[in-house]
Structure 1
Amino acid sequence: MTKYRAEIKPLNADKIGTRAHGTAEFELTATTLKIVVEMFDTPASMQHWEHFHGFPDGREAEVPTMVQDVNGDGFIDLEETFPVSGTTMVPFDDQPDAMNIPNDTYPVSDQAGHYKYEKEVPLANLQAQFEKTFKTSDLALDKRVVYVHGVSPEMPMPASVGGNLNEKYTCHTTLPIACGKIVKVD
């Protein structure tokens, strides 16, 4: 078994009014990938998309900084993370191995902004879908970052914040609120 961990730290905290933080832990065996994400101080009582992001070519993904706020609106939006973090790869939803990113089966935070997500994923299924999508079966977890997304749809956002996938999944759904680099644990 190989273990990985990410310390998830706040993003956009000064704009969203919470300092979302937590951990993501991964246990990789020959047959499964166990994922455990525990978050605190997220926007309360709402669904939070969470994924690992990276580059299909195996380059190292990094946590964004305000340098990525290229339009200067004070937000690091999803589109601005691509140059340093790559693309959305595996969702931490009810079926990660389906790799169906836009859906409504992600964790929901409680009234205090806490949630814990746990899932054991069949590795062969995940690798097959990963290969189909990214032309490699190597998850390369130590080259990825974990993102947690989502703020209330009532929160005012400037028109410059990108990340709308359609009318149902707006920049409120996709706004990164926390991120952490995945590292191998000895």
Structure 2
Amino acid sequence: MIKEYKAEIVPLNDDFIGTKAHGNAFFTETEDNLHIKIEMFDTPKNTQHWEHFHGFPDGKAAQIATMDQDSNHDGLVDLPETEAVSGTTMVPFDDAPQNMNVPNDNYPTSDKNGHFAYEIDVPLRDLQKKFKEVFGTDDLELDKRVIYIHGVPDSLELPTSVAGAVGEYDAHTTLPIATGKIKKVN
């Protein structure tokens, strides 16, 4: 059985960033494979963009963050502020999603126009096995997840209140620039 999902990706933090990052994500799940296709426009140019789906391990439906989640009122919704409505980072859309190795440099980089396209086939059983190891279930429940696109240039001066460092990566890498709710198509 083939399951198809789509997310319309809308801007987040665009007033501060100065671009309205937007695009679409498509997921096609078959018995053996998860095909992922994401295309983004108007992202910060020449910048690597982390991208993931986020959610709640207990199966609660995640929602996208809005400026309402700016709990410290600094004008930006940072990664920790998304967690109340979106849950935790789950699966990265990098060169090997099935490894679920979030902090790395193998994510898409936008071109001089702020565009990037990402497309990959992921061995579904490998991803489900790792997902179960980390979250206790092998059901990805894509229709209960949200997608986030992250990343602004290091030259953008962020308020000191912006949190979200992951390992050696600071808030420039993890600041959300766009988000979308994943919905089942068929």
TM-score tier (shorter): over 0.9
2: CA distance, partners of 1:66 / 1:13 = 10
Give SS of 1:3's match.
Answer: strand
Give me the whole-angstrom Cα distance separating, in 2, the residues matched to 1:157 and 1:104.
21
Q: What CA distance in whole angstroms lies between the structure 2 residues aligned with 1:71 and 1:14?
A: 17
What is residue 161 of structure 2 aligned with on the other side? 160
- For structure 1, which runs of at least 5 residues remain unmatched after alignment? none
Aligned to 1:137: 138
Structure 2 unaligned residues grouped into runs of 5+: none
* Counterparts of 1:87 and 1:175, CA distance in 2: 14
Q: 1:171 — aligned with what?
A: 171
Q: Does 2:84 match 1:83?
A: yes
1:102 — aligned with what? 103
- Tell me the amino acid that sits aligned with residue 124 of structure 1: R
Cα deviation code 1:29-48 (max 9, x no counterpart)? 00000000000000001110
Query: What's 1:74 paired with?
Result: 75
The DSSP-based 3-state class of the residue aligned with 1:56 is coil
Matches within 5 A, 1:1-186: 1-166=2-167, 168-186=168-186
Identity of aligned residues (%): 59
Runs of 4+ in 1 over 2 A off after TM superposition: none
- Separation (CA, whole Å) in 2 of partners of 1:182 and 1:36: 13
- Secondary structure in structure 2 of the residue aligned to 1:81: helix
What's the offset of the Cα at 1:149?
0.1
Deviation readout 1:45-85 (Å, 9 max, x if unpaired): 11100000000000000011111100000000000000000
Q: Secondary structure at the match of 2:91?
A: strand
TM-score, normalization by structure 2: 0.98
Deviation of 1:165 (Å):
1.6
Aligned counterparts of 1:146 and 1:12: Cα–Cα separation in 2: 15
2:182 aligns to what SS in structure 1? Answer: strand
1:65-118 residue CA offsets vs partner (Å, 9 max, x unmatched): 111100000000000000000000000000000000000000010000000000
Alignment partners' CA distance in 2, 1:65 and 1:146: 13
Q: Distance in 2 between matches of 1:108 and 1:7?
A: 20
